[in-house]
């Protein structure tokens, strides 16, 4: 699948997509999504019915606030992006964050990452995609290609960062790899919700379970929690603290760079790839091909990020907390947490997944 440049440029966005597939995508806010039980239950239903309903939610649009924190126990996640721009989007990988989300349909989305003194926004209106950073007053514009009939839709950075985006990745191709059950008395963001509980059938993954709160009326995912195997504390917990199911005005999705802003343009060809000949050099992403071995919960993601970038990933605190390792694939360092392992090799290759270290070593040896 081709990925818009905004996703290629930022480590946070680059990691969210692959990690969603193995069940560790998204953001976290411990205590935000507790799916507390209520005395009143929604009508009984089956996991299959809920999963089907999530794919076709009953709403015309919504807006809300998401509180998030990523807590994987790693000093720094290796990035498959080529840039170290220090953007606010990349900061989503650590700490607590508040995001505002507006959704007006498949081609109208906006997400705002709220900082203490600044804001980073992603706007999509039709084929127009804008990224705006108030901190450095830079606006990056991408004209998305027209979608031919039957063509695969480009992933949307706005929805990737929400409970809906996280849930979509986790719910992809569940059977026969996952045991699924449903509870009907949860409550999230002051709304009655079903809670899907996903448990991997394989012991080869570090994911113990994934809990997805689904709005009882609209079937929109309201929160996602991911637990490492054997842990009672969620490593990942992203949820709406408030949500309003009403289509936002079109004005929320359009963007005009303010006077004095630096504007950069990224051009895509008809396949959604960056057209290097027509792209502003300053906005052009450095591309590292993302590869995957395995599938589902045991997927291992890899990329060649270069020796300099690999060295930077394992310096300072990361070096103190990582373990030197070696094998037929070379020498490197292993970063470990309850949920995720990452292997950074001296030659510039990076491997990561919610798997045991041996799975990373095997992938590196291929």
Q: Which CATH number fits the domain that encloses residue 313? A: 3.30.310
In this predicted structure, the answer to whether residue 345 has a pLDDT above a threshold of 90 is yes
pLDDT of residue 12: 34
Report, as an integer, the average pLDDT of 252-269: 91
Report, as an integer, the average pLDDT of 10-33: 33
pLDDT of residue 150: 44
pLDDT of residue 95: 62
pLDDT of residue 226: 87
Residue 297 resides in a domain: yes
Stronger pLDDT, 335 or 19, i.e. the higher one: 335
Report, as an integer, the average pLDDT of 140-145: 87
Residue 305 resides in a domain: yes
pLDDT of residue 251: 95
Stronger pLDDT, 158 or 342, i.e. the higher one: 342
Mean pLDDT (the chain, rounded): 77
What percentage of the chain has pLDDT greater than the value 70? 69
What does the alpha-carbon distance between residue 264 and residue 168 come to, in Å, rounded to a whole number? Answer: 31
Residue 360 resides in a domain: yes
In this predicted structure, the answer to whether residue 360 has a pLDDT above a threshold of 90 is yes
Report, as an integer, the average pLDDT of 135-162: 66
Q: Name, of 56-70, 161-175, 264-278, 323-337, the range with top average pLDDT.
A: 323-337
Report, as an integer, the average pLDDT of 338-353: 92
Question: Which of 210, 214, 212, 173 has its CA nearest to residue 193?
Answer: 214
Residue 185 resides in a domain: no
Indicate the DSSP class of residue 153.
Answer: P
Report, as an integer, the average pLDDT of 67-95: 56
Residue 354 resides in a domain: yes
And the tokens for 117? Answer: 């003194």
Stronger pLDDT, 17 or 88, i.e. the higher one: 88
Range of the domain at 301: 291-365
Report, as an integer, the average pLDDT of 67-76: 68
pLDDT of residue 64: 93
Report, as an integer, the average pLDDT of 179-190: 90
Residue range 90-122, pLDDT digits in tens? 556 566 788 899 999 888 989 898 888 888 899
In this predicted structure, the answer to whether residue 189 has a pLDDT above a threshold of 50 is yes
Question: Which of 178, 243, 231 has its CA nearest to residue 21?
Answer: 178
CB 32 within 8 A of CB 68: yes
Which of these ranges, 229-243, 326-340, 350-364, has the smallest mean pLDDT? 229-243
Residue 359 resides in a domain: yes
Residue 304 resides in a domain: yes
Which of these ranges, 127-131, 286-290, 311-315, has the smallest mean pLDDT? 286-290
CB 154 within 8 A of CB 272: yes
Q: In the chain, which ranges are E strands?
A: 62-69, 96-105, 108-114, 119-125, 128-133, 138-143, 178-188, 191-200, 207-215, 221-228, 236-244, 262-267, 291-293, 300-304, 323-327, 330-336, 341-345, 349-353
Residue 303 resides in a domain: yes
In this predicted structure, the answer to whether residue 230 has a pLDDT above a threshold of 50 is yes
pLDDT of residue 166: 61
Which of these ranges, 68-82, 208-222, 226-240, has the smallest mean pLDDT? 68-82
And the tokens for 361? Answer: 């070593």
Q: What is the pTM of this model?
A: 0.77
- Segment (H or E) for 365: helix 357-365
CB 258 within 8 A of CB 137: yes
Q: How confident is the model at residue 320 (pLDDT cuts 50, 70, 90)?
A: confident
Q: What angle do CA 158, 164, 169 make, to 5 degrees?
A: 95
Task: Using alpha carbons, list the distances in angstroms from residue 296 to 166, 301, 349, 350.
Answer: 14, 11, 22, 19
Which of these ranges, 158-172, 205-219, 270-284, has the smallest mean pLDDT? 270-284
Stronger pLDDT, 327 or 15, i.e. the higher one: 327
CB 289 within 8 A of CB 343: no
Residue range 265-293, pLDDT digits in tens? 987 766 555 555 555 555 444 445 678 88
Report, as an integer, the average pLDDT of 20-40: 40
Count of domains in the chain?
1
């Amino acid at each position: 699948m081709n990925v818009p440049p905004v996703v290629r440029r930022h480590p946070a966005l680059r990691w969210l997509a692959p990690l969603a597939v193995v069940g560790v995508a998204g953001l976290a806010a411990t205590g935000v999504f507790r799916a507390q039980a209520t005395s009143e239950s929604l009508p009984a239903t089956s996991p299959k019915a809920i999963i089907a309903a999530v794919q076709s939610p009953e709403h015309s649009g919504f807006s809300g606030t998401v509180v998030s924190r990523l807590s994987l126990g790693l000093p720094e996640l290796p990035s498959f992006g080529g840039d170290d721009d220090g953007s606010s989007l990349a900061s989503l990988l650590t700490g607590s964050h508040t995001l505002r989300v507006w959704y007006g349909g498949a081609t109208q989305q906006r997400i705002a990452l709220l900082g203490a003194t600044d804001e980073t926004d992603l706007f999509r209106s039709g084929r127009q995609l804008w990224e705006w950073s108030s901190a450095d007053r830079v606006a990056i514009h991408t004209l998305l290609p027209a979608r031919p009939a039957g063509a695969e839709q480009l992933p949307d950075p706005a929805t990737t960062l929400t409970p809906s985006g996280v849930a979509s990745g986790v719910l992809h191709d569940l059977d026969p790899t996952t045991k699924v059950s449903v509870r009907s008395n949860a409550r999230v963001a002051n709304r009655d919700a079903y809670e899907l509980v996903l448990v991997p059938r394989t012991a080869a993954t570090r994911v113990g379970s994934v809990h997805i709160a689904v709005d009882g009326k609209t079937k929109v995912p309201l929160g996602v929690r991911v637990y490492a195997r054997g842990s009672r504390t969620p490593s990942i917990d992203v949820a709406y603290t408030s949500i309003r199911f009403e289509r936002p005005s079109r004005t929320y999705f359009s963007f005009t760079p303010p006077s004095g802003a630096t504007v950069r343009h990224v051009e895509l060809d008809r396949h959604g790839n960056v057209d290097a000949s027509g792209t502003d050099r300053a906005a052009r992403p450095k591309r590292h091909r993302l590869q995957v071995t395995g599938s589902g919960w045991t997927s291992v993601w890899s990329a060649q990020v270069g020796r300099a970038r690999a060295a930077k990933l394992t310096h300072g605190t990361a070096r103190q907390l990582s373990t030197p390792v070696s094998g037929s694939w070379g020498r490197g360092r292993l970063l470990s947490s309850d949920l995720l392992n990452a292997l950074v090799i001296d030659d510039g290759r990076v491997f990561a997944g919610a798997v045991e270290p041996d799975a990373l070593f095997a992938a590196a040896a291929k």
